[in-house]
Structure 1
Amino acid sequence: MAFGFCLGVFILLSVWPSVTCSDLPRGAIETACRDRYLLVTTQLSFAGNEPRFEAVDADGVHPITKQYGSECGYMFSILPLPGHAELRASYFSCHTDNQDDEVFTFSFNLITIDANGVETTYHVNANCSLPLPWSPREFSCEENYMEVSVRGDVSGLPGTKADNWTAALATAHSAAMSTWQVMFQQEGQQLTSMSFSEARELGYVFHLTQGRLVFRSPYTGSVMGSVTMVNGTFVEMVYPILVSRQRWVVIMVNLVVACSTDEGMYDGAGLVWQTPTLLSPLVSELSGLESSKISFGVAGQLLDEPITAERGYSLDISDTTVQISIPFNADGGYRKSFVMDNMYHEFYVVRLYYEQTFMDDSGVETRLRLHRPMNTPLLIQHPSIINQTVLEARVFTVYLGNLSYDVDLVAVKLNGHNFTILEANKSGLVITMVSQPNSNLHAYVLRVPFDSVIHKLYPTEGLLEYSLDINYTLVILPQEEPYYYLASVVAQFNDVFPPVFKGVCNKKSISFQMDHKPFDYLWEVGVGPYLLTPNLAAKRGYIMQNDSQSLILEVPLFSVGYTYKDINLKQFRGTFEILSRVPKTLEVKSSLAKACLFQTTEVIVCSTEGVVTVVTDVTLAVPGAEPNGTFLLDATCRPQETDDTRARFSFGLHTCGTRVQVDHQHVTYENEINIEHTFQSEAPVKTRDTASVVTVRCVYPLSDLYKLFAYWRFEADSPGVGTILTRVPVKIFQPNFPPTTLTTTRRPLTSTTTSNTGLSPGRKMPGIHPRAKYVKVFSWQMNQPKGTT
């Protein structure tokens, strides 16, 4: 199951052209003395070239190759972590200085190669004191070799079956050998005898220390070894028996060694490894050897039960097998990531460390230690997306997790807008890297306010959706392979409706009230094309009150924004409309056009269609005048309706003798209401005369009348400003300006603007006291430019 590019032994044997020596960088290389071996780890950058080790002793320098490592007790591997390699050297390794099996001195050269092919050599030295006393018999099952050591005063330890032992003894008696020989027993074959040098050529090493006898064998594929099935698990075994005959005495030492070859399996949830509870032939029928203690851990260190339980590890011991399970991505392992066809692949690696203690009937202890790397196959992984958005906060919070240590987020694309991590944080977005609990994984939390790049949608009435499409750009280190991951999140709000106004008719105004709701901010309130603001209200004479509970707007009659219909001498209909619309698109979502009947006194309306409607009291100018005797400049234009004091006229701006004057800003239309009346002269004779008692004006902005000049058709974008002028002082009703009284005498029109009366430029009306109610009526168009009132 192992992957050659990340597991196993990587040794280079080439002769390199240039070599430099360097002092050891702080923290780049670390050594640690473990129970039965020295651990050397390095964090040096490899630049694509794996480092190599050399063992150094008094005889010189010895390159640690794959074969040499398995023969001499060295295990070198490259770990999934970038730039992380380690060497495990047995206390009984070939070039280790051994003092009484208690103190062990190591010396190595670590050689690295940079991108230019230049070698750098670092010297590594370490001293280890034995942390745990030796057991009479100890086994080490490394990744590339098996090692057994026995106490030197033990001539025949239990473990070999009686018939094998008898056969070995018979062979030794029949042979005239005074030097040590080694006999290998293989299943179903006769004993094979050879010298130590012949065994060494086959990869088997025997070594005698001050107090122990050591045997080391290649882990797999050894010539004299065999593999057998024990309780459902393959076990590799080597049966060496050392024999020496001194006259009538035969000395025999059993150095049998056996290790489970199980490499673990991935069951979809994690890695599972198993071994026989009792390894044959370590246990014979005559020995009474039993398992007394089992412990395990990772990365060469045993772990306490509370720690293994916290990480989710499990140990299942039966009479026949021991099974260890480690969940996928549990702490203590490593994940390695890859990109293939924009698919995120990875595998998970655990370096299992297993220790088992056996005890025989005589209380003699045997200890087994095993190192076993396990990894999953290549798995297609999908980063986990969790929508952690809290609607009340109005911020999308998206959690991107399940990322290995070698995966970095470098950019995001949000609803089509690209951001690097730095740009996002400068733009009011927040991207934070966080660690995932109880694992070596990390995650990213993205926070995007609803008022930024978020899309808003109203799929059905009352339902509001915020949506965010995310394209994460991730890179796999160290090669920086890009990987893109798409995600979409949606936040929904129910019962979301535009603001609703209630309208009430008053005697001289219309009042509107809107009760505030949480989502009122999604819309703006407008009057025609204009946004309703305190400034607009003050400018137009509206009375507005806005607090946390509600908005109240009172609009006095004749304020800007009214439209008028059905005008007669008794009453007229005034309508004021208030709108709720989307701020960016100005799309109207709801509206209330409140129409109220008002009592008619005097009024003038200059419509967008070019029709003037005016109701005026002619008796204010000429007491006792007969309204039904009034007429316009064209005497054929008579009132449509009269009573005792008032007359109502309705006529087109291009009829009834209406005069027109154009300047650089306005077009002014003017007509006069005349009346015939009888007066008594000095002579006792009654004389009839015609007098102009009322002047009627409508002023339109020149820019609103482009169709008049383009198509010779009157059509204004907005109603004109109407003014009624009589010969006596009257009030002026105009938004934003106090009542005004003019006291001069009447003169012809001139050319400056009097903005508060709506007259064309310079239109002072000497001798005329404008008293008419000033009425400005708008038929608002949504496409009218903002910013003007």
Structure 2
Amino acid sequence: MACFYRLGWFILLMAAVNIEAQKKPPRNISSKCLGNIMRVDVGPLGGKLLEVAVVINNSSILITPRLASQCGFSMKTDQRGNTVIYVSLHNCFAHNVDDSFTTTLNLRLKGNRMAEDELHQVAETCRYATWSSREIVCERNYMEVSVKRAAPDDYAVPAHPLLGVNPTLDPRRGAEKKPMDAGFRITSIVFFTPEEKVMTVAEAQRSGYGIVSTPSRLVLRGPHTTSETYTHNVAGVPMTVLQTSTIFEKKWLATQINAAVACPTVKGSVHFTPNTITWFLPRHIDPLVSAGQLKLSEVHVGVDGERLDATEMAARRYSLSVNDIYVILEIPVGATGGYFKSHIQDDQYFTSYMIEPMLELLWTEDSTHEDTRYKVLFPIATPLMPRPAQVIDNTVPGERIFKVLIGPFGSDVALVNVSFPSEVLSVTDCSARGFNVLEHTSPNSSLKVFTLDVPFMDPVVQQTTVKGMAVFSLQLTLGLLVLPEFAPFSHTANLEATLVDIVAPSVSGGCDHENFYVLVQYGSEGFNFQTIVGKQTLTPSLAHLYGFKDNDTHFSLVVPFSAADTVFEAVESSSIRSRVDVTLKNPETNGNIQEFSLSCKFPLTLTECFPNGTITVLAVKLESVPNLKPSELTLSDPSCGPSYSDDRHAYFIFTGNSCGTTRRFFSNVMLYENEIALPDDLQTSQDSETEEPEYELKISCYYEIYTTRAVTFNPRPRRSEPYAENAKGELQVAMRIALDDSYSSFHRSEDYPIAKYLQQPLYIEIELMRSPNPQVSLELENCWATLNDDRTSKPRWNLIIDGCANLVDPYQVVFHPVWVDARVPYPSHFKRFEVQMFAFAEDQDNLNRQLFVHCDVAICDDRNGGVCNGQCSNQQNRIKGQRRAVSDAHSYRHVSSGPIKRN
């Protein structure tokens, strides 16, 4: 008789964290027959939804939890997302031909928007040749009993529903051997609760029961918790019991088949110790069998529905024993066949061990040869066990690497990041930093540990000196997640290692108008490192080229700003910014001991305009366009290439009326313009192959027109002493931002844009560069802030007005004195002030905008007074509206710094 069913969903959601994107292998779904059940191994879901449907008569019917317990389906998923489906051979949808049962399932794994759905069909035919008189299955979500469809003659009763059932019948007994005549049909089912309760087949199916009647057997199935079940203690073990009699009618005759099932509950049948799980199953289960009726002839042990032989049980250290009262199964906590599940409570880490053992009993009766096969698939979870992770320090100080092992954790724990006091790094960031983060899983359990290596010289390691010993300290916190719940927790480790005080080698340097000056200090272990200048190892020949000089404590190099081992970062109208990189390496580990970069501006005339109309231009290859070939550059006219070129430079010579040069007239000047770039075909080809920016150099030459010059000739008297002509030069001014109010360390060019929080102080220093005259003074006139690098742009906020702090500013500028030290030979050449980071009122909603600071400064001879009277020396006069007195013996300069980004 077919089951009654409704359409619905049976969905299992599993989530997973993809720490590193990986290509997933093809899914391998398998199925097998395990006695009177079928098992389908789906494998890991990988974060997808699993939808299970059964195929019958070319129709696909989705399975709901209610339909699963009614028709003989169950499912389980472990901590890694591996999913297994169990199906009763007598399920509602099985196609039965001579006790060969075929079940076909459609499995749909539904992905998110980024993943496609997977559709798989599984069909399995199982033949169970050794049917017992009575088959009982206790599954996680249903109970099932199957009995032979046969009845004794004395079971016939009048076919009237009001007459009930013969009260002399023992519901513990199955059907007798005599087959039931054809033509009988089920009219009602009597449930003993233990009182009698009569239902029709339709009423029983609406209550969640599955009823299958084949020519040879009657199958009754239902969930564990219905109003028709009751609890009965058997030898102290609580059992959920369902007792029934099914009434068959044929004309004026009625007969019945008794079917009963009893399944144990975890509470009362399982005992736990920290190391062992002990499961007690009664040897004789009333009301199924009594000690005097049937004897226990077989006991089998299995896991996940599959039997284990004696050898496999011994390898797993399972123990089975049988006494007069119980069948006892002992399983070590952590044994093969189960797994550890992680839990977080109050940020504390716990685990429970989960396993689904199976006991299969066979009772027989010698006189009637009737037998009962009893199978229990019994999911067990231990109570939560606190499992604080251990920190094992495997550091060998001489190797200068912290090596730490942290764990164990369950295999459902994922490492997300590692936090240090100064920064938080993802696992990918750690690997890129050379921290060597690894995960190790035990082959004999589902536990794992994490290992982490951190070099002593990394900035996250703190170093102090105590009594001549170098003490290295590392504090780290693992950021962890329990899957699939995404429950976060952390674990902290504090490590310390001590070495004889070791001073690492270091690099420092400076610039003048032509060269980089590099100084390398050896440290306490002498010259035991490799030096890399740019991308070349410092060989004797390269050292000779760069003026190598050394003694017992250090060596020095002089590297021209245009040397082959430097890089050009940017060009301006009268200067070029060049950088030299110096790296010290450990020759044994090939690890970097220190990386040093020095970037400076060098005066350089790139464009010269001659009175006869000839124009010369030097184009240089910048770091931002590493694949540029200077020889391929041209002027606006592609036929005008460089007169000379090498791998870093291209030199052009042309006139104002050639090579595509254009001319424009203004009120008193004539402007010639041209451009150096790659030809269009090469530019297009280069852009398609790389993402480098275009190379483009604008050229401008101004010639005065309508200008009168007075020329006089004065003979110079002959004299024997040397005579110098008057000349004119430029004094350079630089603005930089210090890391703190000591003004000893400054942000480098690659630090920009600098990130600052609102009201965080900015320490600004302005210096008169390369002036040997102590009587020259640098004075601040006006300083202000804008939102872009155009000093004339709006809005504008004044910081310093006529040398004094802006009185209407709620956070006024603080001026800092300058004293003589190793870096400051002449304090009059420096000005320092502090201003708090702020936001423009009209820009409050956009906190990602940037600020630029601009200043007008005066350079003067402090012997002449005026602006050289000192910072804000005439505050009262400024308040009254009088401008500072300005001497003729000074010049003005403008300087800017930025961008400064608001956090």
- Normalising by structure 1, what TM-score? 0.51
Q: Does the 8 Å CA contact 2:76/2:84 hold for their aligned counterparts?
A: yes
Residue 392 (structure 2) aligns with: 386
Separation of aligned partners in 1, 2:312 and 2:172: 47
By how many angstroms is 1:46 displaced? 8.0
Matched residue SS, 2:69: helix
Residue 359 (structure 1) aligns with: 364
Q: Which amino acid aligns with 1:220?
A: T
Q: Which amino acid aligns with 2:452?
A: L
**Bigger Rg, structure 1 or 2:** 1
By how many angstroms is 1:96 displaced? 0.9
By how many angstroms is 1:234 displaced? 0.8
- 1:445 is aligned to 2:443: no
Q: Which amino acid aligns with 1:296?
A: V
By how many angstroms is 1:374 displaced? 2.5
Structure 2 portions without partners, runs of 5+: 1-7, 13-24, 155-165, 174-182, 503-521, 528-548, 555-592, 595-771, 773-819, 828-903
Q: Does the 8 Å CA contact 1:156/1:254 hold for their aligned counterparts?
A: no
Q: Which amino acid aligns with 2:98?
A: D
**Cα shift readout 1:464-488 (whole Å, capped 9, x = no counterpart):** 7554322223344457665332112
Per the alignment, do residues 237 and 37 of structure 1 end up closer, same or farther by CA in structure 2, a change over 3 Å counting? same
By how many angstroms is 1:430 displaced? 2.6
Q: Which amino acid aligns with 2:365?
A: D
Residue 640 (structure 2) aligns with: none
**Cα shift readout 1:444-465 (whole Å, capped 9, x = no counterpart):** 2223345656555676x69875
Residue 54 (structure 2) aligns with: 55
Residue 257 (structure 2) aligns with: 253
Q: Which amino acid aligns with 1:236?
A: T
**Aligned match of 1:262 in 260, 266, 275?**
266
Residue 370 (structure 1) aligns with: 376
By how many angstroms is 1:257 displaced? 1.6
By how many angstroms is 1:142 displaced? 1.2
Q: Which amino acid aligns with 1:145?
A: Y
Residue 102 (structure 2) aligns with: 105
By how many angstroms is 1:140 displaced? 0.6
1:646-661 matches, cutoff 5 A:
none
Residue 31 (structure 2) aligns with: 31
Structure 1 portions without partners, runs of 5+: 1-8, 14-24, 170-176, 499-520, 527-533, 540-582, 585-663, 665-702, 711-789
**Cα shift readout 1:157-189 (whole Å, capped 9, x = no counterpart):** 9xxxx98526999xxxxxxx9865666463664
- Normalising by structure 2, what TM-score? 0.46
**Aligned match of 1:433 in 431, 436, 439?**
439
Residue 337 (structure 2) aligns with: 332
1:461-500 matches, cutoff 5 A:
466-477=472-483, 482-491=488-497
Separation of aligned partners in 2, 1:10 and 1:307: 38
Q: Which amino acid aligns with 1:351?
A: E
By how many angstroms is 1:12 displaced? 6.1
Q: Which amino acid aligns with 1:95?
A: F
Separation of aligned partners in 1, 2:358 and 2:194: 33
Per the alignment, do residues 438 and 462 of structure 1 end up closer, same or farther by CA in structure 2, a change over 3 Å counting? farther
**Aligned match of 2:239 in 232, 235, 240?**
235
- 1:349 is aligned to 2:354: yes
Q: Does the 8 Å CA contact 1:272/1:325 hold for their aligned counterparts?
A: yes
Separation of aligned partners in 1, 2:300 and 2:124: 27
By how many angstroms is 1:251 displaced? 5.2
Residue 401 (structure 1) aligns with: 407
Matched residue SS, 1:67: helix
By how many angstroms is 1:97 displaced? 0.3
Per the alignment, do residues 436 and 135 of structure 1 end up closer, same or farther by CA in structure 2, a change over 3 Å counting? same
Q: Does the 8 Å CA contact 2:134/2:371 hold for their aligned counterparts?
A: yes
By how many angstroms is 1:368 displaced? 1.3
Matched residue SS, 1:93: coil
Query: Percent same amino acid among aligned pairs?
Result: 28
Per the alignment, do residues 155 and 202 of structure 1 end up closer, same or farther by CA in structure 2, a change over 3 Å counting? farther
By how many angstroms is 1:56 displaced? 2.5
**Cα shift readout 1:215-260 (whole Å, capped 9, x = no counterpart):** 223322242x321111121112222234558899985533222111
By how many angstroms is 1:302 displaced? 2.4
Q: Which structure has more RCO (C-alpha within 8 Å, separation ≥ 6)? A: 1
Residue 136 (structure 1) aligns with: 133
Separation of aligned partners in 2, 1:538 and 1:239: 95
1:303-342 matches, cutoff 5 A:
303-337=308-342, 342=347
**Cα shift readout 1:644-666 (whole Å, capped 9, x = no counterpart):** xxxxxxxxxxxxxxxxxxxx9xx
Residue 878 (structure 2) aligns with: none
Residue 230 (structure 2) aligns with: 226
Per the alignment, do residues 85 and 193 of structure 1 end up closer, same or farther by CA in structure 2, a change over 3 Å counting? same
Matched residue SS, 1:70: helix
**Cα shift readout 1:341-399 (whole Å, capped 9, x = no counterpart):** 64445544323322222233345432211122223455654333222345665543311
Of the structure 1 ranges 450-459 and 368-377, higher mean CA displacement relative to structure 2 is found in 450-459
Q: Does the 8 Å CA contact 1:100/1:210 hold for their aligned counterparts?
A: no
Separation of aligned partners in 2, 1:475 and 1:522: 43
Separation of aligned partners in 2, 1:448 and 1:237: 61
Q: Which amino acid aligns with 1:63?
A: L
Q: Which amino acid aligns with 1:262?
A: V
Per the alignment, do residues 193 and 285 of structure 1 end up closer, same or farther by CA in structure 2, a change over 3 Å counting? farther
By how many angstroms is 1:100 displaced? 0.7
Per the alignment, do residues 465 and 10 of structure 1 end up closer, same or farther by CA in structure 2, a change over 3 Å counting? farther
Separation of aligned partners in 2, 1:427 and 1:247: 86
**How many residues end up aligned between the 2 structures?**
486
By how many angstroms is 1:70 displaced? 1.8
**Cα shift readout 1:493-545 (whole Å, capped 9, x = no counterpart):** 8xx799xxxxxxxxxxxxxxxxxxxxxx995699xxxxxxx974799xxxxxx
Residue 290 (structure 1) aligns with: 295
Matched residue SS, 1:484: strand
Separation of aligned partners in 1, 2:292 and 2:58: 45
Q: Which amino acid aligns with 2:439?
A: M
Separation of aligned partners in 2, 1:76 and 1:537: 75
Separation of aligned partners in 2, 1:242 and 1:104: 24
Q: Does the 8 Å CA contact 1:259/1:279 hold for their aligned counterparts?
A: no
Separation of aligned partners in 1, 2:153 and 2:492: 68
Residue 81 (structure 1) aligns with: 80
Q: Does the 8 Å CA contact 2:32/2:124 hold for their aligned counterparts?
A: no
Q: Which amino acid aligns with 1:32?
A: K
By how many angstroms is 1:282 displaced? 1.8
Matched residue SS, 1:256: strand
Separation of aligned partners in 2, 1:200 and 1:371: 24
Separation of aligned partners in 2, 1:29 and 1:92: 22
**Aligned match of 1:277 in 270, 275, 283?**
283
Q: Which amino acid aligns with 2:105?
A: F
Q: Which amino acid aligns with 1:124?
A: Q
Q: Which amino acid aligns with 2:90?
A: F
Of the structure 1 ranges 473-482 and 366-375, higher mean CA displacement relative to structure 2 is found in 473-482
By how many angstroms is 1:315 displaced? 3.8
By how many angstroms is 1:87 displaced? 2.9
Matched residue SS, 2:70: helix
**Cα shift readout 1:552-576 (whole Å, capped 9, x = no counterpart):** xxxxxxxxxxxxxxxxxxxxxxxxx
Separation of aligned partners in 1, 2:386 and 2:476: 21
Q: Does the 8 Å CA contact 1:262/1:274 hold for their aligned counterparts?
A: no
Residue 814 (structure 2) aligns with: none
Q: Does the 8 Å CA contact 1:415/1:454 hold for their aligned counterparts?
A: no
Q: Does the 8 Å CA contact 2:303/2:358 hold for their aligned counterparts?
A: yes
Per the alignment, do residues 70 and 413 of structure 1 end up closer, same or farther by CA in structure 2, a change over 3 Å counting? closer
Matched residue SS, 2:437: strand
Matched residue SS, 1:438: coil
1:634-645 matches, cutoff 5 A:
none
Separation of aligned partners in 1, 2:185 and 2:132: 27
CA RMSD of aligned residues (A): 5.1
